[in-house]
Amino acid sequence: MLDPNGRTVMISGANRGFGRALAQHLLDEGYNVSAGMRRPAEGASALDGPSERLAIHPYEATDGPSGDAWLEATVDRFGGLDVLVNNAGIVESAPLEDLSEERLDDLWLVNVKAPFRMIKAALPHLRAAGSGRVVNLSSLSGLRVKGAFAPGYAISKFAVTALTEAAKNAGWDDGVRVTSVHPGFINTDMVADFDYPAEDMIQPEDLAEVVATVLRLPNTAQVGRLTVACELEPGF
């Protein structure tokens, strides 16, 4: 198992929800955490950890240069990068006939192009680490389309699944291991308006513990695809 102490992780969308839960969990385990947030002034108080191991940086998924600046600041602060977690994302639940091209463009920009850009920029540092890790937050909707629910979101998350495979192939020989995480409903603000009891959803802290376990695995124990469900999902 890899020792978290001294390893550096970047997590996008770390100001709330699962991103915040994972950032706190990894801080508690001993990682250096660089938290990318749209509103860092609001989100910084949500994380509790030693100042020498926590960096807060503005990150806007729709803005490529902000990702480059965040990566540069992280490497300057901690001396390298071991883990990249692409967590920031948006959802759109409109049925196919109501889904606009503009909204599909938004989904593509945030859910697919942003992690694509971050992986490309981070790969040299992850290769240099020798045991670099990438975690892409996909969804069960990145593996199946459930009736008429959220086809645009599913399109973007299927693409994240393919991006994960491409990144896995690109970094494998240099010890980079890439995992796509496919949860069902997580109890976060993103699904607060869905007609599903919060207590029956996946809790962010539980998913954080599962992802943290994957990050500790050595190069010889690759988890390429991780599915986590809160209800019966035939086939998973």
- 120-137 tens-digit pLDDT: 999 999 999 999 999 999
Give the residue from 214, 172, 220, 223 showing the smallest Cα distance to 26: 214
> How many angstroms separate the CA atoms of 25 and 47, rounded?
10
Please report the pLDDT score of residue 195 as a whole number.
78
pTM of the shown model = 0.96
Q: Which residues are catalytic?
A: 153
CATH code for the structural domain at 8-228? 3.40.50.720
194 CB-near residues (< 8 Å, 6+ apart): 93, 185
For residues 190 and 102, the model is more confident at: 102
| pLDDT tier at 167, thresholds 50, 70, 90 | very high
Residue spans of beta strands (DSSP E) within 77-155: 83-86, 133-137
pLDDT in tens, 12-66: 999 999 999 999 999 999 999 999 999 888 777 889 999 999 999 999 999 999 9
Domain locations in the chain as residue ranges: 8-228
For the residues 136-153, what does the mean pLDDT come to? 92
